[in-house]
Chains A and B, each alone.
Chain A
């Protein structure tokens, strides 16, 4: 087992960077862990934290504030701290009702409610703004068409109108722990890529040095045995990493440990590891200098992660990026993680698409393995 021992020595020499990646990953996971538990089967509107600065006291505004309760969470913030509260995302917007707004509104004036929001909250605030406009436009309709009505009459009637709502149900209860675990496993693809590519690349580079190759050809060790021991090393590295990360996932998310979803997450990781191993092996054969390896490992691991939805959700990626992503195994890994987290029951119908995507990842592995064999043979011929 001399070649296998050599493999172990190479890992030992690079253990600091491996541990650093794992520690960084644990810290990132710890930052994301929290807020676990099951969500309610009843649908509730998404409530956005805002601060309301009201300079106008009237029945109309009281009714509006009451109505907005179902869309916002009111946070009291001192005037001087508003900008900081927005900056730190403690609130998403400051809505200000100016002096004399109601009087101006009754006279069909043009004083407006102002809204100051954080940069990326425009979309999030759509519902809140739509609710404010709906309330005031309904009041305008009543004031215009029923001029005899008092402000109290209008507000009372709007309150009745606004009780008319669609009945909303949720067909499944989403498990927040599974959702969090999905992030964990998505990020794991970056860590697996970075570590496996670094180690497999170094091993390939060391073993393909011409002097070492010739020395090994002369030794009583057969080429087959050498290859088998290298493969064994690669396999143990990949499976070992998945086991360590699987064990960590149990520590972070004990409630899903050994559940069917957890087993599928781990199976998905194993499929991706096989694909990464083959890609890393191929890259190792193509790279010439050892100094280039960290650069390639970083570009490939970070690049594929950004393009396939590891860091940015896939639904936010453009069509062009998604088209490229389909040519990378991580895409199928990330898609599978989402599907696994949403599984309600394990049947052939519900899991066949997951198994298909696992198959595609394995296929990537096989394709790169065949490519590696061709490259390896071509290089051997060149050297001979």
Chain B
């Protein structure tokens, strides 16, 4: 217990490791919030800038001007101008489309791209023409007995025929997968603690290791004590990080917090044992290289789990599934994601199995490489 307490004090004084394992993820989370915060606020429903060429725009201008996404957000921001200026606006990407109404009331629309905004504009214009056709048909078929006002009133009360059903347990939030991958990275960064512990215990890696090797305390006892101290600190850091995400940034983890903590507890130990294992495996490499291995595994593993581009995770799962089994960030990020979205725990336990398998491999490898070290000379 004395050794454990002393080790805790030693580790807490290591500012660089505290930075990498706690401050760095917090700083990144703040950057994420700033960069991705807009995704949630707008819900993607943004006003689309368009240009209408002055001349025969008639009722279309009024209809488009009054169209709303919701009470606060209009669908279109309209610029009325001549054809040359409108084309320039399109080329500068100031507007997404240019609308020209001919004297015969046919509508032409010019786009630069074929993206979603353009599809929405086109769809809106089609609807305008189709509704005009509908009204005309009704007027003709009823021999003019149907009052136009009644038809317009009916049109204004358009029914929604679709009932959205939630996908899984919680409401959708496009931002979450980025933060879940970040937590995965922070857990893998526990590798810094694991690496530090092994460097301090190995006589061929540090002066401290030499001192420890000739001391009376058994190395295995020291290893277990030191790893326990590292695990305690890293787990506390992760809990603080989770608290910061939940209470500071308002990130949701669904309705099963205990399972989230369980996943993080296993992830933290896996991260620490990953660092310890790679340090022993790369005995001859410099300390910088060992740090680089953990850094790159965290950042690159995070990238593959959707930390910079959310959909890459699904692309990897579909096309190169082997990467999800060897990337330690992946089962953590996917485990958190499945806890949030799925009511069933099947996927969560599948990810836990992968994570525990990695843990067993790292600890087994560490045991094999650590035991019976003898040095004739250093």
Closest beta carbon of chain A to B365's beta carbon, Å: 21
A303 B27 Cβ-Cβ under 8 A: yes
**Which residues from chain A contact B130 at a C-beta distance below 8 Å?**
134, 138, 161-162, 164-165
- Cα(A83)–Cα(B82), bound, Å: 50
A126 on the interface (CB 8 Å rule)? yes
A306 B32 Cβ-Cβ under 8 A: yes
B114 A166 Cβ-Cβ under 8 A: no
- Given known pairs A122-B172, A306-B35, A318-B38, the reply for A166 and B289 (CB within 8 Å) is no
Closest beta carbon of chain A to B84's beta carbon, Å: 13
B118 A306 Cβ-Cβ under 8 A: no
- Cα(A60)–Cα(B317), bound, Å: 39
- Cα(A74)–Cα(B80), bound, Å: 39
From A208-216, A230-238, A289-297, give the one contacting chain B: A289-297
Contact of A170 among B36, B99, B110, B316 (CB under 8 A): B110
Contact of B314 among A88, A133, A142, A295 (CB under 8 A): A88
**Which residues from chain A contact B292 at a C-beta distance below 8 Å?**
16-17, 20
- Cα(A169)–Cα(B98), bound, Å: 10
Which A279-335 residues sit within 8 Å CB-CB of chain B?
291-292, 294-295, 298-299, 302-303, 306-307, 311-312, 316-318, 320-321, 324
B163 A302 Cβ-Cβ under 8 A: no
Contact of A120 among B112, B125, B165, B172 (CB under 8 A): B172
- Cα(A302)–Cα(B44), bound, Å: 25
A/B pair count, beta carbons within 8 Å: 238
A17 B289 Cβ-Cβ under 8 A: yes
A118 on the interface (CB 8 Å rule)? yes
Chain B residue nearest in CB terms to A89? B314
B142 on the interface (CB 8 Å rule)? yes
Q: How many residues of A contact B (CB 8 A)?
A: 85
Kindly supply a per-residue 1/0 record for chain B positions 104-118, scoring 1 wherever the CB is within 8 Å of any chain A CB and 0 otherwise: 001111111111101
A166 B107 Cβ-Cβ under 8 A: yes
Closest beta carbon of chain A to B47's beta carbon, Å: 12
Closest 7 CB pairs of A and B: A119-B172, A123-B44, A120-B174, A318-B38, A166-B125, A311-B308, A112-B163
Chain A residue nearest in CB terms to B338? A87
**Which residues from chain B contact A160 at a C-beta distance below 8 Å?**
133
B94 on the interface (CB 8 Å rule)? no
Given known contacts A14-B288, A31-B312, A119-B173, what 15 new A-B pairs fall within 8 Å (CB)? A16-B288, A20-B296, A27-B300, A39-B114, A43-B122, A88-B314, A115-B162, A134-B127, A138-B134, A142-B134, A157-B137, A165-B129, A291-B16, A302-B31, A317-B35
- Cα(A278)–Cα(B270), bound, Å: 40
A367 on the interface (CB 8 Å rule)? no
B164 on the interface (CB 8 Å rule)? yes
Kindly supply a per-residue 1/0 record for chain B positions 301-329, scoring 1 wherever the CB is within 8 Å of any chain A CB and 0 otherwise: 00100001111101111100000000000
- Cα(A95)–Cα(B291), bound, Å: 49
- Cα(A123)–Cα(B120), bound, Å: 10
B129 A170 Cβ-Cβ under 8 A: no
Contact of B161 among A13, A132, A157, A167 (CB under 8 A): A132
Kindly supply a per-residue 1/0 record for chain A positions 7-21, scoring 1 wherever the CB is within 8 Å of any chain B CB and 0 otherwise: 000000110110011
- Cα(A312)–Cα(B303), bound, Å: 13
B160 A133 Cβ-Cβ under 8 A: yes
- Cα(A141)–Cα(B138), bound, Å: 9
The residues of A with any CB-CB pair to B shorter than 8 Å are 13-14, 16-17, 20-21, 24, 27-28, 31, 39, 43-46, 83, 86-90, 95, 112-124, 126-127, 129-134, 136-138, 140-142, 144-146, 157, 160-162, 164-172, 174, 291-292, 294-295, 298-299, 302-303, 306-307, 311-312, 316-318, 320-321, 324, 342
B213 on the interface (CB 8 Å rule)? no
- Given known pairs A43-B118, A321-B38, the reply for A166 and B108 (CB within 8 Å) is yes
- Given known pairs A123-B45, A127-B120, the reply for A118 and B112 (CB within 8 Å) is no
B123 A44 Cβ-Cβ under 8 A: no
Chain A residue nearest in CB terms to B172? A119
Can you list 8 A-B pairs, Cβ within 8 angstroms, ordered by A?
A16-B292, A44-B114, A113-B161, A127-B120, A133-B161, A136-B159, A174-B112, A321-B38
Looking at B44, B114, B120, which has the most chain A CB atoms within 10 Å of its CB?
A: B114
A161 B133 Cβ-Cβ under 8 A: yes
- Given known pairs A130-B127, A170-B111, A174-B112, the reply for A307 and B318 (CB within 8 Å) is no
A146 B167 Cβ-Cβ under 8 A: no
Chain A residue nearest in CB terms to B160? A133
Contact of B310 among A43, A117, A120, A171 (CB under 8 A): A120
- Given known pairs A141-B138, A294-B295, A312-B35, the reply for A171 and B289 (CB within 8 Å) is no
- Given known pairs A145-B142, A318-B38, A342-B93, the reply for A137 and B159 (CB within 8 Å) is yes
**Which residues from chain A contact B168 at a C-beta distance below 8 Å?**
83
B24 A115 Cβ-Cβ under 8 A: no
A318 B34 Cβ-Cβ under 8 A: yes
- Cα(A140)–Cα(B158), bound, Å: 9
- Cα(A131)–Cα(B38), bound, Å: 28
Chain B residue nearest in CB terms to A24? B300
**Which residues from chain A contact B311 at a C-beta distance below 8 Å?**
89
**Which residues from chain B contact A31 at a C-beta distance below 8 Å?**
312, 315-316
B173 A43 Cβ-Cβ under 8 A: no
Closest beta carbon of chain B to A162's beta carbon, Å: 6
- Cα(A174)–Cα(B41), bound, Å: 30
A302 B119 Cβ-Cβ under 8 A: no
Chain B residue nearest in CB terms to A162? B130
A114 B172 Cβ-Cβ under 8 A: no
Contact of A46 among B35, B115, B314, B318 (CB under 8 A): B115
A168 B116 Cβ-Cβ under 8 A: no
B61 on the interface (CB 8 Å rule)? no
- Cα(A137)–Cα(B155), bound, Å: 8
Chain B residue nearest in CB terms to A101? B161
Kindly supply a per-residue 1/0 record for chain B positions 5-27, scoring 1 wherever the CB is within 8 Å of any chain A CB and 0 otherwise: 00000000000100110001001
**Which residues from chain A contact B31 at a C-beta distance below 8 Å?**
302-303, 306-307
Contact of A113 among B107, B163, B174, B289 (CB under 8 A): B163
**Which residues from chain A contact B151 at a C-beta distance below 8 Å?**
141, 145
Looking at B93, B133, B151, which has the most chain A CB atoms within 10 Å of its CB?
A: B133
- Cα(A195)–Cα(B133), bound, Å: 62
B172 A307 Cβ-Cβ under 8 A: no
**Which residues from chain A contact B299 at a C-beta distance below 8 Å?**
24, 298, 302
Contact of A166 among B109, B295, B310, B312 (CB under 8 A): B109
